[in-house]
Amino acid sequence: MRVRSRQAGVRALHAFLVLAIAAPCSGQARDSVSVTFRPWHVLEGTLAEVALRGSSDSGDSVAGVVAGEPLHFEWSQDQRVWWALMPVPLGSSDSLDVALIVRRAADPSDTLAERLAVRPRHEALQVLHLPAPYNRPPDSAAVVRLGADAARLDTIWREAHGIPRLWHEPFLRPVPGRVTTVFGEGREIDGMSEPRHQGVDLAGAKGSVVHAANRGIVAAVTSLYESGLTVILDHGAGLVTAYGHLSEATVAVGDTVARGQVLGHVGVSGRVTGPHLHWAAFYGALAVDPLSLLDIRSVP
C-alpha cells in the first residue's frame, strides 16, 4: 500500500508540473531562475546533476520529475543553489525533458520546462555460454521466481524515495577489478537474446572482499535467480546499489553501513559463468550505470 501511494504521488506531481508549465508564468520572470546540468550533453543510462540558481533562500522549495521519477532537491548554503541527482534512462532518445517548479514563500512560483541533450550509448553484443540449468529458457518454476524477484526489487526501488539522502562522501568502486561487462551491453546467452546489461561486471577472485560504495541501509540480503546472493543498499533520495553473485554476505537487513564497509565476498552464485561482482545502481525503478556514481562531485 505504501508503494501504491508513493507511485500515485509521483503521478500527481508529474501532472501538476505539466499543467503548471503549460500555464503562463506570472510575477517574477522565467529567466530569473537559471538551470545548469552537469554534464550538459549526458550519456544515456547515467546519472546527471542539476542545479538551480536564482531561488532566494532555503525557505523556497524545488520540485521536479524526470521520466516519471521525482527529483530530490537540496539547498546548498555555500553554493547558493538547489541541487539534485537526475537519472537519464537507458534508451533515451537524443534529448530528455525535465519538468521543474520553484515554489516561493512570498513571490509567485517559477515553472520551467528544460531539455537536456543525450548521447546514445553504443555497446557491442556479448555472446555467452552458461552451465545448466541457465543455458535454456527458464521453466515454469523459474518464471514464478523471476516474477517474485521483480516484485520485491520494485518495492525496494520505490521505497528509496521515502528516506533522505544518507551519503555525503564520494562513491567508490566496491572491488578494484577491471570491468568485464559494461552497462547497457547487449547479450546473447546460448542463442537466446537477453535484455541490455543493467549493471557492470567487475573482475574478482572468489572470496575477494566487496565494499559498500557509500553509506546506506541494507534493504535486502537475498538469493535472486539472476544475480544469486545479493546485497542491496538503500542510499536514500531515490538511489539504490546492488552487489550480486556473492559467496557470502557479512551484513544483515536493517544495518546502516559506512562507505567502504565490507558487505561480503565475491562468488559464483546465480546465473553466472565465473566469479565476479555484478554491481548495479538504480534511481527509483530506472537502472543507471553505477560507474557514473564515481563522477558525482557537486553534493551540498
Q: Which residues pair with 230 in a beta bridge?
A: 222
C-beta separation of 118 from 92 below 8 A:
yes
Residue range 136-147, pLDDT digits in tens? 677 788 888 888
Which DSSP helix (H) or strand (E) runs through 219?
Answer: strand 216-224
Q: Where are the domains of the chain?
A: 2-119, 125-295
Q: Is the pLDDT of residue 6 over 50?
A: no
Distance of CA 277 to the CA centre of its chain: 18
- CATH topology for 2-119 is Immunoglobulin-like (2.60.40)
Distance CA 249, CA 241 (A): 15
Q: 217, 245, 209: which is closest to 233 by C-alpha?
A: 217
Please state whether the peptide bond connecting residue 176 to the residue before it is cis, i.e. omega within 30 degrees of 0.
no
pLDDT given for residue 58 in this prediction: 54
Residue found under cell 537502472: 287
As a whole number, mean pLDDT of residues 53-82 equals 84
C-beta separation of 220 from 150 below 8 A:
no
Q: Is the pLDDT of residue 2 over 60?
A: no
Structure confidence at residue 22 as a pLDDT band (50, 70, 90): very low
In this structure, CATH architecture of domain 125-295: Distorted Sandwich (2.70)
- Window from 95-99, 118-122, 208-212, 238-242 with minimum mean pLDDT: 118-122
Whole-model pTM above 0.95? no
Residue range 167-224, pLDDT digits in tens? 999 999 999 999 988 887 766 565 666 666 688 999 999 999 999 999 999 999 999 9
Q: Cβ contacts of residue 240 below 8 Å, gap of 6+?
A: 156, 157, 160, 219, 232, 233, 234, 281, 282, 283
As a whole number, mean pLDDT of residues 281-293 equals 95
Higher pLDDT, 292 or 143: 292
> Which of the given ranges, 81-95, 123-137, 190-204, has the highest pLDDT on average?
81-95
Q: Is the pLDDT of residue 11 over 60?
A: no
